[in-house]
A and B are shown apart, each in its own frame.
Chain A
Amino acid sequence: ETGVTQSPTHLIKTRGQQVTLRCSSQSGHNTVSWYQQALGQGPQFIFQYYREEENGRGNFPPRFSGLQFPNYSSELNVNALELDDSALYLCASSLRDSSYEQYFGPGTRLTVT
């Protein structure tokens, strides 16, 4: 059974740029959730995708957007990067019928300078 994978592991961007982060779900999982974890904080829910559609969103501005593909992998896109976007971005996969049980990937560390 393949776990959740994310890429890249680290990246550095400049304020105002755009970034795309990628996530591959655990085998058999059809739902993907994204979280932002700022330094020293607990993760904050960004949004969830099921059947290629957004299925819930946290308190994040529209410049945070996502995609889910037919193979259930997902992308998180952030436009017009701000310094406060620097964080660990975590992807979690689950089954729709048991989406309370989420399995996390290792995360992508984004630094905005």
Chain B
Amino acid sequence: SYVLTQPPSESVAPGQTARIACGGENIGSKSVHWYQQKPGQAPVLVVYDHTERPSGIPERFSGSTSGSNSGNTATLTISRVEAGDEADYYCQVWDSSTDQVVFGGGTKLTVL
């Protein structure tokens, strides 16, 4: 089965840029989606289809992929980080070969 790997935690100072990685085989060939989850709340979609932002999500949130060929790492970048960005972040893909929805293990972002 397809596996998405995220670092358990990242930390960043206010005003700086946070980058949260999501690794997976040929992830560049899949549509990657990102969710933000604050304590006690349901997740919120912040980026879909690698780079698209839903209505109401600030431009500070952006997505990208990198690596050779189709790419092995997707990245969620949060610019000008604010205290309110402190949350868990999950990447997600749909693996077409197995018709399965797959989530990464999540990354806890701490704003110092």
A binds B: no
Q: Residues of A with Cβ closer than 8 Å to B?
A: none
Q: Residues of B with Cβ closer than 8 Å to A?
A: none
